[in-house]
Structure 1
Protein backbone atom coordinates (compact mmCIF):
# COMPACT_ATOMS: atom_id res chain seq x y z
CA UNK A 1 0.00 0.00 0.00
CA UNK A 2 1.30 3.41 -0.88
CA UNK A 3 0.81 6.48 1.26
CA UNK A 4 -0.70 9.47 -0.56
CA UNK A 5 -0.24 12.96 0.89
CA UNK A 6 -2.19 16.09 -0.13
CA UNK A 7 -1.06 19.63 0.74
CA UNK A 8 1.46 20.84 3.27
CA UNK A 9 1.20 23.01 6.37
CA UNK A 10 4.13 25.37 6.97
CA UNK A 11 6.34 25.10 10.01
CA UNK A 12 8.12 27.88 11.86
CA UNK A 13 8.28 31.04 9.71
CA UNK A 14 11.68 31.74 8.20
CA UNK A 15 12.91 28.15 8.41
CA UNK A 16 11.62 26.96 5.02
CA UNK A 17 10.48 23.76 6.72
CA UNK A 18 6.97 22.34 6.63
CA UNK A 19 5.32 20.76 9.65
CA UNK A 20 2.59 18.41 8.41
CA UNK A 21 0.63 17.09 5.48
CA UNK A 22 -2.91 18.45 5.22
CA UNK A 23 -4.34 15.02 4.29
CA UNK A 24 -2.81 11.54 4.43
CA UNK A 25 -4.47 8.55 2.76
CA UNK A 26 -3.29 5.04 3.59
CA UNK A 27 -4.89 1.64 3.23
CA UNK A 28 -8.18 3.21 2.10
CA UNK A 29 -8.44 5.60 5.05
CA UNK A 30 -8.28 9.41 4.80
CA UNK A 31 -6.82 11.24 7.84
CA UNK A 32 -6.64 14.97 8.54
CA UNK A 33 -7.00 17.75 11.11
CA UNK A 34 -8.90 21.04 10.76
CA UNK A 35 -9.08 24.34 12.61
CA UNK A 36 -10.90 27.58 11.96
CA UNK A 37 -9.57 30.16 9.53
CA UNK A 38 -6.57 32.34 10.36
CA UNK A 39 -6.50 34.77 11.98
CA UNK A 40 -8.41 32.79 14.59
CA UNK A 41 -11.44 34.58 15.98
CA UNK A 42 -15.18 34.43 16.32
CA UNK A 43 -17.29 32.13 18.43
CA UNK A 44 -16.68 28.44 18.94
CA UNK A 45 -19.68 27.77 16.69
CA UNK A 46 -18.15 29.90 13.92
CA UNK A 47 -14.81 28.14 14.27
CA UNK A 48 -16.58 24.76 14.21
CA UNK A 49 -18.39 25.73 10.99
CA UNK A 50 -15.05 26.70 9.45
CA UNK A 51 -13.53 23.36 10.55
CA UNK A 52 -16.40 21.46 8.94
CA UNK A 53 -16.24 23.45 5.70
CA UNK A 54 -12.52 22.70 5.48
CA UNK A 55 -13.26 19.04 6.26
CA UNK A 56 -15.60 18.82 3.26
CA UNK A 57 -12.89 20.33 1.03
CA UNK A 58 -10.27 17.87 2.29
CA UNK A 59 -12.60 14.91 1.99
CA UNK A 60 -13.40 15.87 -1.61
CA UNK A 61 -9.70 16.31 -2.43
CA UNK A 62 -9.12 12.73 -1.26
CA UNK A 63 -12.12 11.37 -3.19
CA UNK A 64 -14.26 10.92 -0.08
CA UNK A 65 -17.21 12.65 1.58
CA UNK A 66 -18.82 13.14 4.99
CA UNK A 67 -21.00 10.08 4.30
CA UNK A 68 -17.79 8.03 4.59
CA UNK A 69 -16.61 9.42 7.94
CA UNK A 70 -15.33 6.79 10.37
CA UNK A 71 -14.24 8.86 13.38
CA UNK A 72 -14.31 12.49 14.49
CA UNK A 73 -12.45 13.89 17.49
CA UNK A 74 -13.46 17.36 18.63
CA UNK A 75 -11.09 19.28 20.86
CA UNK A 76 -12.45 22.31 22.75
CA UNK A 77 -10.54 24.75 24.92
CA UNK A 78 -13.58 25.11 27.17
CA UNK A 79 -16.46 22.68 27.67
CA UNK A 80 -18.82 25.67 27.82
CA UNK A 81 -18.57 25.55 24.00
CA UNK A 82 -19.91 21.96 23.88
CA UNK A 83 -23.56 22.76 23.09
CA UNK A 84 -22.90 25.46 20.47
CA UNK A 85 -20.36 23.28 18.67
CA UNK A 86 -22.73 20.29 18.83
CA UNK A 87 -25.49 22.36 17.18
CA UNK A 88 -23.24 23.15 14.20
CA UNK A 89 -21.79 19.63 14.04
CA UNK A 90 -25.16 17.85 14.26
CA UNK A 91 -26.63 19.99 11.46
CA UNK A 92 -23.60 19.30 9.23
CA UNK A 93 -23.47 15.51 9.61
CA UNK A 94 -24.91 12.99 7.17
CA UNK A 95 -27.54 11.59 9.56
CA UNK A 96 -27.74 8.32 7.61
CA UNK A 97 -23.99 7.67 8.05
CA UNK A 98 -22.86 8.72 11.52
CA UNK A 99 -19.20 8.27 12.54
CA UNK A 100 -18.00 7.45 16.04
CA UNK A 101 -17.09 10.63 17.89
CA UNK A 102 -15.45 11.96 21.01
CA UNK A 103 -15.10 15.45 22.42
CA UNK A 104 -12.48 16.59 24.93
CA UNK A 105 -11.26 19.73 26.65
CA UNK A 106 -7.65 20.50 25.73
CA UNK A 107 -5.21 23.38 25.61
CA UNK A 108 -4.69 24.28 21.96
CA UNK A 109 -1.60 25.86 20.38
CA UNK A 110 -3.01 29.38 19.82
CA UNK A 111 -4.83 31.46 22.47
CA UNK A 112 -7.64 32.46 20.06
CA UNK A 113 -8.24 28.91 18.82
CA UNK A 114 -11.35 27.40 20.44
CA UNK A 115 -11.95 24.27 18.34
CA UNK A 116 -9.83 21.71 16.51
CA UNK A 117 -11.11 18.54 14.85
CA UNK A 118 -9.48 15.29 13.76
CA UNK A 119 -11.13 13.15 11.08
CA UNK A 120 -10.76 9.73 9.52
CA UNK A 121 -12.88 8.55 6.62
CA UNK A 122 -13.01 5.76 4.07
CA UNK A 123 -11.40 6.82 0.80
Structure 2
Protein backbone atom coordinates (compact mmCIF):
# COMPACT_ATOMS: atom_id res chain seq x y z
CA UNK A 1 0.00 0.00 0.00
CA UNK A 2 1.44 3.37 -0.98
CA UNK A 3 0.72 6.67 0.70
CA UNK A 4 -0.36 9.74 -1.16
CA UNK A 5 2.22 12.31 -2.15
CA UNK A 6 1.08 15.92 -1.87
CA UNK A 7 2.85 18.62 -3.89
CA UNK A 8 2.46 22.34 -3.11
CA UNK A 9 3.73 25.31 -5.08
CA UNK A 10 4.32 23.17 -8.12
CA UNK A 11 5.77 24.44 -11.38
CA UNK A 12 6.70 22.40 -14.46
CA UNK A 13 10.17 21.83 -12.91
CA UNK A 14 9.69 21.38 -9.18
CA UNK A 15 7.47 21.72 -6.13
CA UNK A 16 8.23 24.15 -3.29
CA UNK A 17 6.94 21.51 -0.83
CA UNK A 18 6.43 17.77 -1.13
CA UNK A 19 4.63 16.01 1.74
CA UNK A 20 4.83 12.26 2.19
CA UNK A 21 4.25 10.10 5.26
CA UNK A 22 4.16 12.99 7.78
CA UNK A 23 7.33 14.52 6.37
CA UNK A 24 7.75 17.81 4.48
CA UNK A 25 10.51 18.11 1.91
CA UNK A 26 11.24 21.69 0.85
CA UNK A 27 12.92 22.66 -2.41
CA UNK A 28 16.17 24.55 -2.01
CA UNK A 29 15.48 28.15 -1.04
CA UNK A 30 17.51 31.12 -2.26
CA UNK A 31 17.28 34.83 -1.61
CA UNK A 32 16.31 37.23 -4.36
CA UNK A 33 18.11 40.07 -2.53
CA UNK A 34 20.68 41.49 -4.90
CA UNK A 35 22.21 43.77 -2.28
CA UNK A 36 23.25 42.82 1.22
CA UNK A 37 25.62 40.37 2.78
CA UNK A 38 25.31 36.71 3.69
CA UNK A 39 23.49 37.61 6.92
CA UNK A 40 20.80 39.47 4.97
CA UNK A 41 20.39 36.66 2.45
CA UNK A 42 20.38 33.98 5.18
CA UNK A 43 17.67 35.80 7.14
CA UNK A 44 15.63 36.15 3.95
CA UNK A 45 15.99 32.44 3.18
CA UNK A 46 15.15 31.41 6.76
CA UNK A 47 12.00 33.55 6.57
CA UNK A 48 10.98 31.74 3.38
CA UNK A 49 11.59 28.40 5.07
CA UNK A 50 9.47 29.45 8.07
CA UNK A 51 6.58 30.37 5.74
CA UNK A 52 6.83 27.17 3.69
CA UNK A 53 7.02 24.98 6.79
CA UNK A 54 3.91 26.69 8.19
CA UNK A 55 2.10 26.00 4.90
CA UNK A 56 3.12 22.34 5.16
CA UNK A 57 2.00 22.03 8.79
CA UNK A 58 5.42 22.11 10.43
CA UNK A 59 7.98 24.53 11.83
CA UNK A 60 11.73 24.92 12.20
CA UNK A 61 11.72 23.08 15.54
CA UNK A 62 10.77 19.90 13.68
CA UNK A 63 13.71 19.91 11.24
CA UNK A 64 15.09 16.48 10.47
CA UNK A 65 17.80 17.60 8.08
CA UNK A 66 19.27 20.78 6.60
CA UNK A 67 21.68 21.21 3.72
CA UNK A 68 23.31 24.57 3.02
CA UNK A 69 25.25 25.57 -0.06
CA UNK A 70 27.38 28.71 0.08
CA UNK A 71 28.85 30.46 -2.94
CA UNK A 72 31.92 31.30 -0.83
CA UNK A 73 33.09 29.49 2.32
CA UNK A 74 34.38 32.85 3.56
CA UNK A 75 30.69 33.38 4.51
CA UNK A 76 30.65 30.26 6.71
CA UNK A 77 31.04 31.95 10.11
CA UNK A 78 28.51 34.69 9.34
CA UNK A 79 26.06 32.08 8.05
CA UNK A 80 26.51 30.08 11.26
CA UNK A 81 25.75 33.21 13.28
CA UNK A 82 22.57 33.77 11.26
CA UNK A 83 21.63 30.08 11.69
CA UNK A 84 22.17 30.28 15.47
CA UNK A 85 20.05 33.45 15.67
CA UNK A 86 17.27 31.70 13.70
CA UNK A 87 17.34 28.32 15.39
CA UNK A 88 18.83 27.13 18.66
CA UNK A 89 19.01 23.63 20.04
CA UNK A 90 18.89 21.87 16.68
CA UNK A 91 21.99 20.14 15.32
CA UNK A 92 24.31 21.72 12.82
CA UNK A 93 23.38 21.56 9.17
CA UNK A 94 25.57 20.16 6.45
CA UNK A 95 27.29 23.06 4.68
CA UNK A 96 29.38 23.02 1.50
CA UNK A 97 30.64 25.47 -1.09
CA UNK A 98 29.09 25.32 -4.53
CA UNK A 99 28.67 27.47 -7.62
CA UNK A 100 25.22 29.04 -7.68
CA UNK A 101 22.67 29.30 -10.49
CA UNK A 102 22.71 33.13 -10.37
CA UNK A 103 25.58 35.44 -9.54
CA UNK A 104 23.82 37.21 -6.66
CA UNK A 105 22.91 33.98 -4.82
CA UNK A 106 25.17 33.58 -1.80
CA UNK A 107 23.24 30.82 -0.03
CA UNK A 108 20.79 28.02 -0.79
CA UNK A 109 19.11 25.99 1.95
CA UNK A 110 17.15 22.75 1.64
CA UNK A 111 15.34 21.30 4.66
CA UNK A 112 13.31 18.24 5.56
CA UNK A 113 10.93 18.44 8.53
CA UNK A 114 8.46 16.27 10.39
CA UNK A 115 4.88 17.51 10.31
CA UNK A 116 3.58 18.75 13.65
CA UNK A 117 0.16 17.11 13.40
* TM-score computed with the length of structure 2 as normaliser: 0.89
Instruction: Structure 1: state its 5+ residue gaps.
Output: 10-17
CA shift, 1:41, in A, is 3.2
> CA deviation digits over 1:28-59, x for unaligned, max 9?
111112111x2533211111101100000000
Q: Structure 1 39/83 Cα, relative in aligned 2: closer, same or farther at 3 Å?
A: closer
Q: Answer yes or no: is 1:114 the counterpart of 2:116.
A: no
> CA deviation digits over 1:51-71, x for unaligned, max 9?
100000000000001110001
- Correspondence for 1:35 among 25, 30, 36: 30
Q: Tell me the equivalent position of 2:4.
A: 2
Runs of 4+ in 1 over 2 A off after TM superposition: 38-41
How many residues in Structure 1 have an aligned counterpart in Structure 2? Answer: 112
Alignment of 1:72-91 (within 5 A): 72-91=66-85
Q: Structure 1 72/111 Cα, relative in aligned 2: closer, same or farther at 3 Å?
A: same
SS in 2 for 1:19: coil
Q: Pairwise CA RMSD of aligned residues?
A: 1.4
Instruction: Structure 2: state its 5+ residue gaps.
Output: none
